Structure 1
């Protein structure tokens, strides 16, 4: 598992309440929901390499 970094995040209370409800609807913690959304956005913008694709490329090289 990848190393995780801790950092403080300040957001408006109404945004936090919306995240809290959304995360509960999807059976995640607020932290888990934020991580999920960040990963999704990073992949969509092609700013995060897909680990699965990287593994597939490495297998095809061997």
Structure 2
């Protein structure tokens, strides 16, 4: 996926609220804005969600890892 820089003028209160939301979700502000925009596009039917990205945290093959508990 290619990324493109885009200057954005935004209300300071909206930006502060987005920053708090990003902090709550442990995302960067940029990632949070992209997430919200992508979700809005999917919900409005303007784009189809083709693939969800799944990130797995693998531990050092310990016997009590998540894979062994299933």
User: What is the TM-score of this pair, normalised by structure 1?
Assistant: 0.76
Structure 2 gaps, min length 5: 52-70
Deviant stretches of 4+, over 3 Å: none
Q: Within 5 Å, which residues of 2 pair with 1:24-43?
A: 24-43=23-42
Count of matched residue pairs: 51
In structure 2, distance between residues paired with 1:10 and 1:17: 13
**Larger Cα Rg: Structure 1 or Structure 2?**
2
> TM-score, with normalisation over the residues of structure 2?
0.68
1:49 matched residue in structure 2:
48
Relative contact order (alpha carbons < 8 A, sep ≥ 6): 1 or 2 greater? 1
Unaligned runs of 5+ in 1: 53-62
